[in-house]
Chains A and B, each alone.
Chain A
């Protein structure tokens, strides 16, 4: 079946630094990937839609200059949290739409900003 690999699975960074999270579709091409954020005991909130070869589409309220998304190839999308602050600490998850009608999720990245 379709597999999406997300790295790193967890990261701790200092306040003010940037962190990059990678999302790869391993056995299919994904023209569109999605990035979600989940706070503890809350829903998965869609942050942005990542389109291969074009700019990402951000949901209302999501700072595009803070959460930089790059979808350089059909199998790779990256999310960079710039100038991270403690309030950015969260669980970030990517997903990709596979060749059928399904959505495959990565395993998520736990970001802790100290």
Chain B
């Protein structure tokens, strides 16, 4: 049972445009959501997070939106840069502290 889903395995955008990565979840007990960036053979790097009491969190070029009623969150990157090319994972946690990851979306930003 995949509790966190990233239905788009890949996304390609032009440099300077907006990248939108989507994530859906099924467990209503999740109360904290995170986005990570990952390169092959490396550990994930934290990007941005959002608590379930908020619907938006912004940090520089990165903004995360949370729609609790739809159990959906998204990561917006604007403007996209070639260095943003990587695999992006969304993750969710509840009061257990465990992080449950989505399958990842490979983002390619073309110069």
Please state if A49 and B98 are interface contacts (CB–CB under 8 Å).
yes
User: Which residues from B are CB-within-8-Å of A108?
Assistant: 41-43
User: Which residues from A are CB-within-8-Å of B60?
Assistant: none
Is A113 interfacial (CB-CB < 8 Å)?
A: no
A85 shortest CB reach to chain B, Å: 21
User: Which residues from A are CB-within-8-Å of B46?
Assistant: 102-105
Q: Give the residues from 59 to 114 in chain A that come closer than 8 angstroms, CB to CB, to chain B.
A: 91, 93, 95, 97, 101-108, 110
Please state if B97 and A46 are interface contacts (CB–CB under 8 Å).
no
B95 shortest CB reach to chain A, Å: 12
Q: Binary interface profile of B, 64-90, with partner A (CB < 8 Å = 1, else 0)?
A: 000000000000000000000000010
**Which residue of A has the minimal Cβ distance to B104?**
A43
Interface residues of chain A, those whose CB is within 8 Å of chain B, are: 4, 6, 10, 32, 34, 36, 41-46, 49, 91, 93, 95, 97, 101-108, 110
- 25 contacting pairs across A/B (C-beta < 8 A): A6-B43, A10-B41, A34-B99, A41-B104, A43-B89, A43-B102, A43-B103, A43-B104, A44-B101, A46-B98, A46-B99, A49-B98, A91-B41, A93-B43, A101-B32, A101-B49, A103-B34, A103-B99, A104-B46, A105-B43, A105-B44, A106-B43, A107-B42, A107-B43, A108-B41
